[in-house]
Structure 1
């Protein structure tokens, strides 16, 4: 152990003497190492920040949700390539749900059919144009990230029975019902 301490102290003495005799080279070397460490740390932080930002933006869609649609989500110039794709039917989701129920160890939870279009929504004298209307089932609440601030999402009985129920977003509710609650009101779509 004594020999190890002696060797260590001699190494430190030699290193200190070299650093004193070549001060500029020592300073530049130390500066290069410091800049390298800072650059690697900043890159790691930047990549981590980008990853967190991406995860947050994808969480709006559901970070564990797979969407299958006939058309792309954004307008495309070559729309004719998509028009002949097979139409996605509600029966496909029902078949998938039977398969999911028959496979207890599956990581899949539920298949939810949706159909969407743009329409005007009206209540009394108030009207909102170009509203994104989404038709779906009661299982949609499982896969979506929406949060009902007032009222509730429709249930399975209303979904299967084809009840005339609607869940409206905050902006639509605010425009149609500026001074009253939208709950238990009838809107025209």
Structure 2
């Protein structure tokens, strides 16, 4: 039978059974469309997480207290030596592959200024922090080494803080009180958006870590240490260097496990993508069910057609 005749028969059959044809098409369209959409959503979520991880900084390593495990029991912060300013200073002095180093001391408190008050996290960091995080200022400047050495009461605020306390204004030069201690705003950070975990990076105030130690807190413990390397290729060697320096500083024996964790951006992305992977699998399962239902519908319609022709 010629192809033209087959096409003619098929066309007549389609026109004669319009509803049946529509149902068959819907089964295919819905099933395939569901798979495409669900896969696209999953890939989009992964890309967004990677974008947010990249937005944290360039060639960055994060050092935190306590041993981290991807499975099993992790060593808690309370059972390990805490990170101290001495750890930061030792890394800054001895880390040959570490181009930039900064401690992060976190102090929460009430902020008073401008239109009212705001509660946010205050982070004590070094002058190299914006280099590690690749964080620019939208107005004003970041504090310099002179501010850091003199324990200056200067602050650089995030966009969220600026929008809430000084809506529609440039707060540079304005006074602000942190834990009832007067500071002067010298800069506003450019918007960074949310982290992979959904935390607002712009809801923050940065001050010299020396100022936090002397004016806002009297302890020597720090939440984390951020470091960066010149290139991505140096990151594995830098991790080994950091591990050896901190093990020596903490006087750990060869058989003792690390009481700290060094994580790179790949580790952070893998940790943050766990929820996304579960969501992707769930969406894929839903799409598969849609495709299966569509296939069953097509099968039933074809069965009806065959039955009619064999009568």
Give your verdict on TM over 0.5: yes
Tell me the equivalent position of 1:115. Answer: 105
- In 2, are the aligned partners of 1:122 and 1:128 still within 8 Å (CA)? yes
- Pick the aligned partner of 1:147 from 113, 130, 136: 136
Distance in 2 (CA, whole Å) between partners of 1:160 and 1:186 is 21
Tell me the equivalent position of 1:97. Answer: 92
- In 2, are the aligned partners of 1:128 and 1:176 still within 8 Å (CA)? no
Using the TM superposition, give the Cα deviation of residue 58 of structure 1 relative to its aligned residue in structure 2, in angstroms. 0.6
Equivalenced residues, count: 165
TM-score, normalised via structure 2 length: 0.39
**Greater strand content:** 2
Distance in 2 (CA, whole Å) between partners of 1:181 and 1:82 is 37
- In 1, are the aligned partners of 2:65 and 2:82 still within 8 Å (CA)? yes
Distance in 1 (CA, whole Å) between partners of 2:52 and 2:125 is 23
1:8-31, CA deviations, whole angstroms, 9 ceiling, x for partnerless residues? xxxxxxxxxxxxxxxxxxxxxxxx
Distance in 1 (CA, whole Å) between partners of 2:41 and 2:115 is 47
Distance in 2 (CA, whole Å) between partners of 1:181 and 1:142 is 23
Map 1:33-48 onto structure 2 (within 5 A): none
Map 1:60-71 onto structure 2 (within 5 A): 60-62=55-57, 64-70=59-65
Structure 1 residues 96 and 133, CA gap change in structure 2 (3 angstroms): same
Q: In angstroms, what is the RMSD of aligned CA positions?
A: 4.4
Aligned partner of residue 99 in structure 2, secondary structure = coil
TM-score, normalised via structure 1 length: 0.59
Structure 1 residues 79 and 51, CA gap change in structure 2 (3 angstroms): closer
Gap regions ≥5 residues in structure 2: 1-35, 68-72, 183-311
